[in-house]
Amino acid sequence: MSQTPADYSGPQRVLSGMQPTGQLHLGNYLGALKNWVSLQDDGAWDCFYCVVDMHAITMPHDPALLPDSVRSAAAAYIASGVDPSKSAIFAQSAVRAHAELAWIFNCVARLGWLERMTQFKDKAGKDKERASVGLFTYPVLQAADILVYKATHVPVGEDQKQHLELCRDIAARFNRDYGKGEAIFPTTEPVIQGPGARIMSLRDGSAKMSKSDVSDNSRINLDDDADKIAKKIKKAKTDPEPLPATVEELDKRPEASNLVGIYAALTGTSKADVLGEFGGEGFGKFKPALADVAVQYLAPISDEYRRLIGDKAEIDRVLAAGAEQASEVAEPVVAEARKLVGFWG
């Protein structure tokens, strides 16, 4: 992991967030949450994990469903091992400082920088004139999410690299224009997630595992019980060949590669290790082994998730405490930024 620049002497902090998009799945767990938990357990960082409900309204949404979607995401964080006594877990909209800093950053970021963002192009589709302005400035709010805690490290998937670069550009520009060159905001480093970062659909090895896939059998949801987990793995699409001996050969077979990747990510080993054990074996042998491993790791998460979701009061307590903790860090940062840009009071 690379270091923040030598002229930045603030604390090492981690921030990340996920949209409250309903049911989270194995891809979210292996691609993000598992990594959040290891950064938390590392002990070297103050960790802030938010549910980004302000980002959720950049696209059409149902206001009646949003609070429960936030609870559901928070429950998935906790069930996955994010521990409220070690990390701040909160809803982005509960900490007003995000919005305040985002406005200042909207005036620091340049139109040209945002026009290069590929995620906007993907999400806005063909008729971008009809996209919300919020969708366009989405990455500016994301930069505020990060820098309002002066976070030095952000665990994200590969697809967020461009937004992290924008965050660094905004920090540098702010430091230059308002900080007289002093490092007010750090240069944030992305922590790109490990081998589990890209979990593909169980029905199609070339598409990412996604909650919007019409087939429920394409993903393992974080609320699937042991029985469902095992069934979905047994039904997963494969090819008729036995597993190869090398990763090079495996990589030519997307479905096989995905299942081996899931096994490796769950057990914290590599694809090569898994092939060392199962190379030459058919799926008749590998799938039951994978189902066992998946149930062993995921069933406790799913049990805890289902317990939590039934106890809204407990989730709400965690979110309230997390928002308070987060505000204590964020408020002085916004106060500093307000002063530097010359705001009243």
Of the ranges 9-17, 82-90, 168-176, 201-209, which one interacts with ligand TRP (CB under 6 A)?
9-17
- Between CA 223 and CA 68 the distance in angstroms is 15
The active-site residue out of 86, 121, 123, 161 is: 123
Here the tokens at position 3 are 């270091």
Q: Mutual orientation of helices 271-278 and 254-267 as an angle, nearest 10°?
A: 100
Q: Catalytic residue, from 86, 208, 228, 237: name it.
A: 208
Q: Is 154 in the site for ligand TRP (CB under 6 A)?
A: yes
Q: Is 197 in the site for ligand TRP (CB under 6 A)?
A: no
**58 touches ligand TRP (CB under 6 A):** no
d(CA 262, CA 196): 7
337 binds ligand TRP (CB under 6 A): no
Residue 123 falls in the annotated catalytic set: yes
Among 25, 34, 55, 150, binds ligand TRP (CB under 6 A): 55
Among residues 219 and 232, whose Cβ is nearest to ligand TRP? 219
211 catalytic? Reply is: yes
Please list every residue from 113 through 142 that binds ligand TRP, using CB under 6 A. 142
**Residues 46, 53, 100, 145: which binds ligand TRP (CB under 6 A)?**
145
Q: Is 34 annotated as catalytic?
A: no
Site for ligand TRP in 78-117 (CB under 6 A): none
Is 187 a residue that touches ligand TRP (CB under 6 A)?
no
Which residues participate in catalysis according to the annotation?
123, 208, 211
| Contacts to ligand TRP by CB under 6 A | 15-19, 52, 55, 142, 145-146, 154, 156, 160, 163
